[in-house]
Structure 1
Amino acid sequence: MIIMNLLNVFEQINTVDPEFSDRISPRREAIKNLASVSKKITMAALPFFVSELFKKHTAPPRPQTSMVYLTMH
């Protein structure tokens, strides 16, 4: 129902202003290009992300405390 109303609105706009779709097309192209660039950046970053998953992350070694320090306190 809502989609039909929306399509009717677009049809009415096209009858009043036939150049409406021509003005909207560059915006659609820009959005498509932005989505394409986003996909490419994501795919380029994916190997770095995957390699970080397999790295072994450990805490730094604890400093050695001497027995003298432990017995004095």
Structure 2
Amino acid sequence: MNTANMKLRRERKYQNVSALEMAKCIGIAESSYWSKESGNRPFRQSEITVILKKLKKPYEDVFGED
């Protein structure tokens, strides 16, 4: 898992948002979400946009590299 994906997981858990809730929010299966959050598959730009709105965070806080 890369740094950006670790930041996403940490922020999602901090906000008490489940992987299932996030998957539903972006319109994919929970297993597909896990695959993307784990770094095995990339997120599409449209999915990133929805995730950032859901978490109310800028790109750099969730997906930006440190």
TM class, shorter-chain normalised?
Answer: under 0.3
The structure whose RCO (Cα within 8 Å, separation 6+) is larger is 2
Q: Which structure has the bigger radius of gyration?
A: 1
Name the one with the larger helix percent: 1
Q: TM-score, normalised by structure 2?
A: 0.28
